[in-house]
Amino acid sequence: MSTLKMVRNGIASVGIGAAILLAPVVAQAKEVNIRVQAVIGMQTTEVKMLKDFMADVTALTGGEVTFEVLPAGAVVGVKETLDAVDAGLVDGGFAWTHYWSGKHPAAMLFGSPVAGAGVGIDNIAFLSWFLNAGGKELYERLWDEMGMNVKGFMLQPVGPEALGWFKEPINSMDDFRKYRFRTPPGLPGQSYKDIGVASVAMGGGDILPALEKGTIDAAEWCCPKPDMDFGFHKVLKHYYLQGLHQVVVNADMYLNKDVYNSLTDHQKKAFEVAANASLVKGMSARIYDNGVALHELTTKHGVILHDTPADYFPAYMNAAKALLEKNSAENAFFAEVWQSQKDFAEIAVPFWSGAQTSNAKLGMAYANTLK
């Protein structure tokens, strides 16, 4: 049993007084202040968007629910964030749900379904599955499957993420395999390993120092705006937008379930409404913010934009689908979630991919005039 679990269950004999003081209030509360620890720095775009969600909750509750955002490591380490929420050491946490794939493999299907879940689901289609085709109900069950005393709120959809940053142009998978490449944890990173890429998982704040020290020599994080915030363009100049590893990515807030249960029905509804608004605001903001950042990177910072080598796509897709099949065979809840995504894709993706083809051709026709 972990130390955090012992604190939650009242088993630990040392420091129990402090744990009681930190424990969430379980009675129905009119006014509540919620402390949320993030897994990244306070100046990041993601935390700014998190604060916007919190401001909406505060406004919708007439000031009854307020928040304090704590930076990564303020109470516990990044990797312990969800355990700390579960134990009540912090009221809430903010991260990407695929970070917790070690607790349950199905976490990846909500936080970062590798290669569009292998069935062509992009970030907009993912929201359709989540809100309209049973995804949210499965997400609610995820925490019980993990054994976590947690209520999750999906807030920030992103995607597709860029393939990443390189020292020199890559013209094939053979070129790609020469680099030590920062990747996400879980199945996205494992898929890279399976196609022969030297995949190195690390947190966002560690990437630039690792590039500067030569611990890694290529990296991905997200998209032009967050990537520029982290300063990768200061070290690497060759940038590739098209990647399959995280076509869909979602950042979530986790609330200790005792804290959530202490809220009034009106306060709970405020969380739900604000979370749905955050999904729309997050997705729409990313389009413009990333466009502004990409323009700045290529016009002011000497970044060269490339197309991803063609042989990357079948190699990565095949590896990702093999891992999805393997995890589905090994875990019943993973299989249930993935089947739900496949059932959705069978109906929705033929329409949506066709519509997106028109959108892409429309956009490229205009983009080509700018060249």
Q: Which residues are annotated as a binding site for substrate?
A: 161, 182, 220, 246
Position 52, amino acid: D
Q: Are 297 and 233 in contact (CB under 8 A)?
A: yes
Position 301, amino acid: H
SS3 state of residue 249: strand
Q: Please give the annotated binding residues, written as ranges.
A: 161, 182, 220-221, 246
Query: Of 70, 49, 99, whose CA–CA distance to 229 is shortest?
Result: 49
Q: Which two tokens stand for residue 216?
A: 């890694």
Q: Please give the annotated binding residues for Na(+), written as ranges.
A: 221
Buried b (16+ CB within 10 A) or exposed e, 192-228: bebbebbbbebebeebbebbeeeebbbbbbbbbbbbb
Q: Which DSSP state fits 264?
A: -
SS3 state of residue 371: coil
Q: Which two tokens stand for residue 238?
A: 């060759």
Q: Which two tokens stand for residue 309?
A: 């080598």
CA dist 165 and 174 (Å) reads 16
Query: Of 226, 246, 245, 227, whose CA–CA distance to 236 is shortest?
Result: 227
